[in-house]
Amino acid sequence: MLIAASDHRVGRSQIGALVEYQGKFMQKSPFLLNGWYCAGWSEELDRQKIIGRRLLNMPIVIYRADGQAVALHDRCPHRFAPLSKGAVKDGNLVCGYHGLAFSRTGQCVESPFGDRKVPNAAVQAFPVVERDNAIWFWPGDPELADPAAIPEFAGLGDAKGRQGYLNLKANYQLAIDNLMDLSHIEFVHLRTFGGAGCFFEGQHETRKVSDTEIWSLWTMDDVQPPAPARAAFGDQRVNHWQDMCWRAPSNLSFDMGLVPLGLDRSSAPPRMQQAHLLTPETETSTHYFYSKEQQDEPKEFDMLKIAFEEEDAPMMEACQRNMGDNFWAERPVVLATDASAILVRRMLDKMIREQNSD
Ligand code: FES
Ligand SMILES: [Fe+2]
């Protein structure tokens, strides 16, 4: 099914105007536009009602009209006030400065001053889909926004799952590197789940399913369990795996587990499955949405929070501060263990180059 914008009722003429608008502002975007990005968690929108957030370097406002999530350019065309400082009234977003009201398609539909003419003005509306506790946003060509292309994530729709958010002061591709090259666990995550030496004994494989789906697979057979699993496994040696899957543009899923020697994965006791949804805020900052399926121990989620916020984030942010804005111009050393991360970079670079050459 294809959808056209925040609302299925957007007409073709409006879509043309929106594309033209986008052409003016986004033709040479450093980000991949035709793709689904997480814009926020549903519970966040339940709480705040209106979210003003920079996504792919554009100010965006998200709210619900008659229960349906809507995303508009967060800039009133009158004096450019952020519409996110306004209010929702009868399904329209009313500017908090002089009261112009905009429908879910972005069209100005009301002026507050008596019978004066409603200005022929509009703001861009973006396709948006709310699914499994997440709000998905499509910054590209509305005609290509297919909700069926939104990836499935284990646990994302689980009412007992947990969600987190981190505002990372680093480019989103540094975060993809971090996730696609988990060898850093041995060094960065010493307070949480690293340091057992599993990765030094493991095998790493990069599996390319398509240009938009790449796996980074770590298989660690006959190793000591990592620290968090010691309570369950003691000193018993285990078969352990950590599988990360990237899907374009920047949505990753993670499956980690371990079993006693001699057993296969299907017999694994509770596994850890996570979603890592990385949405560029600017070229040097990222909305990092993460979630974990429900497991028995709430403290496992607290440990993830420590791992991401106190271990990963400071390292990635320090890397960002230490480099310029062109990764390849820095001539990075390439290691065997970052083969998956490098392949993702090449795929993304290729798609962005093609987009910008159109
Ligand atoms: S700035 Fe929005 S109505 Fe004036
Ligand atoms: Fe990490």
pLDDT of residue 216: 98
Is the CB of 76 within 6 Å of ligand 1? Answer: yes
- Ligand nearest 77 Cα, by number? 1
> Residue 13: how many CB atoms within 10 A of its CB?
8
| Category of 154 on φ-ψ map: left (φ > 0), alpha (ψ -120 to 50) or beta | beta
CB distance 118 to ligand 1 below 6 Å: no
Secondary structure E strands in the chain: 37-41, 50-55, 58-65, 68-73, 87-89, 92-94, 101-102, 108-110, 125-126, 128-131, 134-137, 162-168, 203-210, 213-223, 238-247, 251-260, 272-282, 285-292
User: Would you state the pLDDT for residue 297?
Assistant: 66
Ligand 1 atom nearest the C-alpha of 95 is 2
pTM: 0.90
**pLDDT tens, per residue, the chain with 358 residues:** 334 344 332 333 333 334 344 444 456 799 999 999 999 999 999 999 999 999 999 999 999 999 999 999 999 999 999 999 999 999 999 999 999 999 999 999 999 987 678 999 999 999 999 998 999 999 999 999 999 999 988 777 776 778 999 999 999 999 999 999 999 999 999 999 887 889 999 999 999 999 999 999 999 999 998 888 888 888 899 999 999 999 999 999 999 999 999 888 888 766 778 999 999 999 999 999 999 887 656 677 888 899 999 999 999 999 999 999 899 999 999 999 999 999 999 999 999 999 998 6
**Is the Cα torsion angle 213, 167, 31, 321 positive or negative in sign?**
negative
97 lines ligand 1 (CB under 6 A): yes
- Amino acid found at 346: R
- The closest-lying atom of ligand 1 relative to the alpha carbon of residue 80 is 1
Distance between Cα 344 and ligand 2 center (Å): 17
The CA 354 to ligand 1 mean position distance, Å, reads 37
Please answer whether residues 139 and 274 qualify as being in contact, where contact means their C-beta atoms are separated by less than 8 angstroms: no
- How far, in Å, from the CA of 313 to the mean position of ligand 2? 8
Ligand nearest to the CA of 181: 2
Determine whether the shortest distance from the Cβ of 78 to ligand 1 is under 6 A: yes
Nearest residue CA, atom 3 of ligand 1? Answer: 98
Nearest ligand for residue 97 CA: 1
Distance 255 CA to ligand 2 centre (A): 14
pLDDT of residue 300: 78
pLDDT at 14: 34
- Rounded CA-CA distance 215/128 in Å is 27
Residue nearest to atom 4 of ligand 1 (CA): 98
